[in-house]
Amino acid sequence: MSDRTVEEVFEVIAAAAPEIRAALVERVGFESEENPSGEQQIAADVHADRLLEERLLTIDGVGHYASEERDHVISDGEGYSVAVDPVDGSSNVESNNAAGTIVGVYDAELPASGEHLLGAAYVLYGPRTTMVTAHEGTVTESVVENGDRTTVRDDVRIPEDDGVYGFGGRVPDWPADFEAFAREIEQELKLRYSGAMIGDVNQVLTYGGIFAYPALRSAPESKLRLLYEGNPIGYIVESANGRSSDGDRSILSVPADDIHQRVPVHVGTTEYVDRLEAALD
Ligand code: P6P
C-alpha cells in the first residue's frame, strides 16, 4: 500500500459521482430486498454499491470492501479496507432532496475502530455535486464535474460562531437528558434537518453548530452505522477542528465488533459537542 492509496480511493469516488448521481434520477424504484440494517433499498443503492465494489477493489492498495448494503466484507487480497455507504439518504430521493456517498479508508481488517482511519470523504448530491475529503489532517471541499475535482475550499475549518443544528429521531423518543440539551440549543441556533446526514453535516461544516442522531429510548444504540457513517463523518469533522462524540467520547474511539454496529452520532463545533457530553447523564 502507498500513501497514494487514500488519494486513489478519493479519485475513484469522484469519478463515480456522476454515474451515481444519474442513477438517483433513473433508478428510484424500490428493491424487494432490504439491506443488512433492515432498510428498504432503492435501485440506486444497489447500482452504486456494485459499481463502487468493482472499482475500489481494482486499486492495488485496497484489499477489502465493506458496504452498508452487504452482509459481509468482500476481500480480494492484501491491502487497506474501504467502508462505503453508497447512497446515504436514498430515502430522500423520492422527495427530491439531497443524498450523499460516504467512504472511509481503514488500515485494518473490518470491523475496526475509527482510530484505524487513514482518510475519509463524502460526496454531496445537491444543486452542485461537491466532495469533502479529509486526509493527513487537512479537509478540502471540491466541486465535482465530469468526475474531476476542482478545489473550492482548502483547509476547511468548522466555524466557531453560531451555526445550525439538526437532531434525528422523534422528540418523544429522545431520552430526557438529550431533550433538555435540545431545548437549550433550539434557543440558540437555527434548525436545519433534512433526513440525509451528508446534507445536514455539510450545513454544520459550512456554518458551524451541531448535528446529532442521538441514542433513543427505543434504540439506545441509535440508528447510524459506525463503520460507514459515524467514523468517516467523525474523522472529517475532527480533521476540520470540530469534535465527534457517541455521548461519552470521540466516535473514533468506539470499539468495533460488528460491521453493521450502530452508534449515537453527535458532531460539530467543539463547544456544542462538549456541552452535549456534559448534558448527558
Ligand atoms: P430519519 C438516511 O436514511 C440516514 O441513514 C441518514 O442519512 C440520516 O441522518 C438518517 O438516516 C435519517 O433518519 O429517522 O430522520 O429518517
Is 144 in the same domain as 169?
A: no
Q: Is residue 158 part of a domain?
A: no
- Measured CA to CA, the distance from residue 57 to residue 40 in angstroms comes to 26
Q: Are residues 139 and 196 in the same domain?
A: no
Q: Does 197 score more than 70 pLDDT? A: yes
> How far does residue 197's CA lie from ligand 1's centre (Å)?
6
Q: Which atom of ligand 1 is nearest to the CA of 225?
A: 5
User: How far, in Å, from the CA of 90 to the mean position of ligand 1?
Assistant: 9
Instruction: Indicate whether 159 belongs to any domain.
Output: no
Q: Looking at 124, 153, 182, which one is the last position of a domain?
A: 153
Last residue of a domain, which of 128, 153, 178?
153
pLDDT above 70 (res 27): no
Same domain, 113 and 173: no
Grid coordinates of 164:
445550525
- Name the residue with the closest Cα to ligand 1, atom 9: 197
Instruction: Answer whether residue 185 is part of any domain.
Output: yes
The set of cell numbers assigned to 198 is: 451528508
Number of folded domains in the chain? 2
Question: Are residues 69 and 189 part of one domain?
Answer: no
Over residues 112-141, the mean pLDDT reads 97
- CA 228, CA 86: separation in Å to the nearest integer? 9
Cell of 251: 466516535
Question: Are residue 136 and residue 206 in the same domain, yes or no?
Answer: no
CATH number for the domain spanning 223: value is: 3.40.190.80
pLDDT band with cut points at 50, 70 and 90 for residue 281: confident
pLDDT of residue 184: 98
Best mutation site among 165, 210, 213 for ligand 1 pocket (most ligand atoms within 8 Å of CB): 213
Pocket probe for ligand 1: among 37, 197, 262, the residue whose CB has the most ligand atoms within 8 Å is: 197
- Average pLDDT taken over every residue of the chain: 94
Whether 100 and 229 share a structural domain: no
Range of the domain at 107: 3-153
Are residues 120 and 187 both part of a single domain? no
* Ligand 1 binding pocket includes 97 (Cβ within 6 Å): no
CA of residue 101 to ligand 1 center, whole Å:
13
- Kindly state if the Cβ of 102 falls inside 6 Å of ligand 1: no
Provide the CATH number for the domain around residue 105: 3.30.540.10
Q: Are residues 30 and 118 in the same domain?
A: yes
Q: Is residue 203 part of a domain?
A: yes
Closest CA to 163 of 190, 139, 182: 190
Instruction: Let me know if residue 140 belongs to a domain.
Output: yes
Q: What's the pLDDT score for residue 2? A: 60
43 & 181 share domain: no
Lowest mean pLDDT among 7-11, 38-42, 199-203: 38-42
Do both 272 and 193 map to the same domain? yes
Q: What percent of the chain has pLDDT over 70?
A: 97
Q: How many angstroms separate the CA atoms of 126 and 101, rounded?
A: 12
CA-224 nearest atom, ligand 1: 5
- 108, 125, 153 — which closes off a domain? 153
Pocket test for ligand 1, best of 34, 88, 193, 263 (most atoms within 8 A of CB): 88
CA 199–ligand 1 middle distance (angstroms): 11
Please tell me whether residues 268 and 146 are part of one structural domain: no
Contacts of 21 (CB under 8 A, 6+ apart): 125, 129
Number of neighbours of residue 32 by Cβ within 10 angstroms = 6
Same domain as 209, residue 81: no
